[in-house]
Amino acid sequence: MELPVYLDNASTTPLDPRVADAMVRCLRSRDGFGNPSTDTHELGRKAQAQVEAARDQVAALINATGGEIIWTSGATESDNLALIGAASYRRVRGRHLVTSATEHKAVLSTCRHLEQQGFRVTYLEPDRNGLIAPKAVKAAIASDTILVSIMHANNEIGVVQDVAGIGAVCREADVLFHVDAAQSAGRLPLDVQRQCIDLLSVTAHKLYGPKGIGALFLNRQRLRRIEPLMHGGAQERGLRPGTLPTHQIVGMGEAFELAARAMDQDTARIASLRDRLWDGIRTVPGVTLNGHPQRRLCSILCVSVGGVEGESLIFGLRDLAVTSGAACNSATDEPSYVLRSLGRSDQLAHSSIRFSLGRFTTSEEVDFAAASFRQAVDHLHGMLPDRHAIATG
């Protein structure tokens, strides 16, 4: 077992060797280096064929068509393009958006930007388990609402939202529905038709693919056009200019096809390891599970520890590659806004640890993580002058 044990798959996943092989074949092949936007010669057309094949692979995972997939640099860009692009294009219909207070910052920061452009945004608060009820979305929709954005699975606590129920509410009100599926793609069933999703953001590096490539699903029956964020070329239907990175796209396609084939098996095995980890640490004094106990992603286990200082806990877990909250917030000293939305105290929010497991996680690593966690918490609790603080947090 190699140290540190990697349990930060929600931040990024290791590249699957089969994906790496597909990318190397593309890089080394004469059929892969041409510009896929060039159709005047055979090499451009061959590269384009690989791009289109990958587009179909990504679409198949979410029950879409290849023509509804727009390549981006990742889920953050996809979120920006979906929200700013759709809101700007539909601003004549209204200027109101609905989202949740626990969204990824790629959505929250984009909504703040839209507010500065004259849009109005309603931020729904979740219940204590992190859930947003479809009826809460329905109540928030007004006559000038043009878009709702709710993530499928939370990147910090793993809570899974009822996107089908929310989608039905949005479709009934004729409001666009955007879903950030960066964490859920390949781990939960996604069907953009059945779940009434109009825009959906995905990325490769959360699913054992390469960094720097993602996609936005755009429901062509409901939304044929959005405003682009960048200008300078006609690639991707004029919505995302720039020369396409063929080898990264091929890698994303391979990763999504592998996920489609292995999703049931991977999900069951990873969920079993997550439960094994929880069983190994749940009796530690002061430990609190964050998020709904059942409606959560197979791969994420987020806990807080009463009476423990977060930075000290992370230091005590130096043989584990884990994070305190989401990776996008790890450079700040602020307590997790997701956990604060659940009603956690500043102390519990600061002392949170997110374990996120993946395809290559082993039972040996999980047992080592549980033992390391117990030892680190016991050591820190032993330094407390007031043992009552363990329970109160």
List the structure tokens of 209.
Answer: 């693919």
**Do 227 and 374 share a structural domain?**
no
- Chain centroid to CA 112: how far? 20
Q: Among residues 195, 226, 258, which one ends one of the domains?
A: 258
pLDDT tens digits, 52-79: 999 999 999 999 999 999 999 999 999 9
**Do 290 and 378 share a structural domain?**
yes
- The confidence score (pLDDT) of residue 330 equals 53
**Do 35 and 86 share a structural domain?**
yes
Q: Between vectors from CA 94 to CA 224 and to CA 216, what angle results, nearest 5°?
A: 35
Residues 6+ apart with CB under 8 A from 346: 335, 340
* Sequence letter at residue 283: T
**Do 271 and 249 share a structural domain?**
no
**Do 267 and 206 share a structural domain?**
no
- The confidence score (pLDDT) of residue 386 equals 62
- The confidence score (pLDDT) of residue 384 equals 73
- The confidence score (pLDDT) of residue 201 equals 98
Q: Residue 323 belongs to what domain range?
A: 5-11+263-392
**Do 298 and 229 share a structural domain?**
no
**Do 359 and 386 share a structural domain?**
yes
**Do 376 and 298 share a structural domain?**
yes
**Do 244 and 162 share a structural domain?**
yes
- The confidence score (pLDDT) of residue 324 equals 85
Phi, psi (rounded to 5 degrees) for 146: -115, -20
Q: Among residues 258, 286, 304, which one ends one of the domains?
A: 258
Active centre residues (catalytic): 328
Q: What is the C-alpha to C-alpha distance for residues 49 and 39, in angstroms, rounded to an integer? A: 10
**Do 219 and 146 share a structural domain?**
yes
Domains contained in the chain, number: 2
Closest C-alpha among 222, 261, 237 to residue 64: 222
pLDDT tens digits, 195-237: 999 999 999 999 999 999 999 999 999 998 899 999 998 899 8
Which parts of the chain register pLDDT below 70? 325-333, 385-393
Domain harbouring 289, CATH code: 3.90.1150.10
**Do 280 and 236 share a structural domain?**
no
- The confidence score (pLDDT) of residue 8 equals 98
What share of the chain in percent tops pLDDT 90? 88
- Beta strand 176-180 with 199-203 is parallel
